[in-house]
Amino acid sequence: MATTTTHAPAGIGESGLQFAAAPQAGPDPSGPPKSRSRLTTPARLWAALIAALVAFLAIGGTCAATLATRQASETHAAGSSEQLVQNVNELYHALAEADATAATGLLVGPVQPTRLTDLYNSDINQAVSALSTASRELAGDGAASKQLSNVAGQLPLYTAYIATAQANNRLSYPVAGAYLHEASKLMHDQILAEVQSVADEESAAQRSGQAEVTGFPIWIVVVGLLAATVLVLCGRELSRSTRRRFNVGMLWGALIALAVVIWSLVAVSSAANAANRAQADFDKVATTLWDRDSLALADSYQSLTLVDRGEDNGTDAQAQAKALGNVDSAELTGDAAALYTKLRQQMHNVQSAVDGGDYSHAVDLIVGHGSQPSPNTLNSDAAALDDALVKTFNNDQASYASDANSASSALSGAVWGGLIGGMLAALAAAYGINRRLAEYR
């Protein structure tokens, strides 16, 4: 039997067997494999640790810085600014009272009583002392220093005019009134105007300082919210990396940080309430100081109406009425209110005598007779009212100091609480995360 051999076609291996070609690999329908994070677990824990430390320290630092800034503002407002307001107002009052005393002295006669001479010299010395103190305290304020420098340069000219007026008055020369009027014009139009400008600036600075204490603590809220976001992300990362729901250290750190924020906000609120009370007290103090200044100014113009004897066309009388009207009578209570009513009546009586041409009677209504102070005169009533205002000032000043100290005290403890609390929170977080890191060493 013949055997038939089948030959393999070219391209087939020696085995004589034909194999089908392997199918080509197609694209993976699921897409490219997802890449794993390049950070190892310890690296992610270190990143969470650093982020948590920054967040906790930011909370503590922001709270401490905010409270420290407010405490510094309160201290400056209650100390430097408020004291400057008093010094400048004392300067204003002493100058206005000196001018009133100088004018009154010329009304008495050629030889003015010793008590008026002593009072004038005392007022000038008090003004020089207050000017020196205010100039020293305001050495860093260019505008205020320039204004007080102008006052210092004009004050000797004023006293020279008054000395000349007194010398001519002793000789019964009518020109004494002209020198007095020139001195008063310098005092009212230039010297007191400069002092009032400085007083207004310092009052504004005091109010600005108090406003910083009562403002909303925006940075505590903003930094607290940002830190809370960071801590939430850190907590999620720790939960994924360590397979634990909570990290004890982070939890304690978050509780401490929350306590710091709450404590700071309570301190800010408490300080703001005390600062608001202090500001109300300061407004009363400023009103009382302004009332004293206005009364001294009115007294000065009242005496000038008699010196001028109508030759000024009623200008001094109008200025006197305006100064008297600047007194905030609605805030006067007790003896001060009764004395103010009496003083207004006395000034009205003096003006009626002047309008009637009875200048001798008008002088008697102002200073009385003789070298000794007379009761029931305009001068005696003005002095009594000034004493009552000083008592009111002292009471309001004591209340201001108490409330300002309360505001500062509320902030001082919380400053250290913010610093220490922030560090404790950071240490707690570092301890908690470090324990998880120890598992990879």
- Spatial neighbors of 86 by CB under 8 A, at least 6 apart, are 285, 289
> Residue 327 pLDDT more than 60?
yes
> Residue 437 pLDDT more than 70?
yes
Lowest pLDDT segment from 86-90, 274-278, 312-316, 350-354: 312-316
pLDDT at site 160: 95
How many other C-beta atoms can be found within 10 angstroms of the C-beta atom of residue 190? 15
pLDDT at site 8: 42
Give the torsion sign (CA, 351, 356, 359, 363): negative
Q: What is the mean pLDDT of residues 141-161?
A: 91
> Residue 26 pLDDT more than 70?
no
Give the torsion sign (CA, 121, 122, 125, 130): negative
> Residue 241 pLDDT more than 50?
yes
User: Residue 385's closest CA among 84, 86, 97?
Assistant: 97
pLDDT at site 110: 82
Better-scored residue on pLDDT, 347 or 14: 347
Residue % of the chain over a pLDDT of 70: 89
- From residue 282, give the alpha-carbon distance in Å to each of 87, 378, 394: 14, 30, 11
pLDDT at site 5: 45
Q: What is the mean pLDDT of residues 327-348?
A: 87
**How far apart are the C-alpha atoms of 381 and 352, rounded to whole Å?**
18
| pLDDT band at 15; cut points 50, 70, 90 | very low
> Residue 273 pLDDT more than 50?
yes
> Residue 12 pLDDT more than 50?
no
Give the CA radius of gyration of the chain: 42
User: Residue 102's closest CA among 38, 41, 166?
Assistant: 166
pLDDT at site 2: 43
> Would you kindly state where each structural domain of the chain is located, as residue ranges?
41-440
pLDDT at site 413: 73
pLDDT at site 220: 92
> Residue 25 pLDDT more than 60?
no
| pLDDT band at 286; cut points 50, 70, 90 | confident
User: Residue 151's closest CA among 172, 127, 167?
Assistant: 127
pLDDT at site 321: 84
Helix (H) or strand (E) holding 14: none
For Cα atoms 317, 177, 322, give the angle at the middle one, nearest 5 degrees. Answer: 15
| pLDDT band at 372; cut points 50, 70, 90 | low
> Residue 324 pLDDT more than 80?
yes
> Residue 152 pLDDT more than 70?
yes
- Residue length, the chain? 441
pLDDT at site 375: 72
**How far apart are the C-alpha atoms of 126 and 131, rounded to whole Å?**
8
> Residue 9 pLDDT more than 60?
no
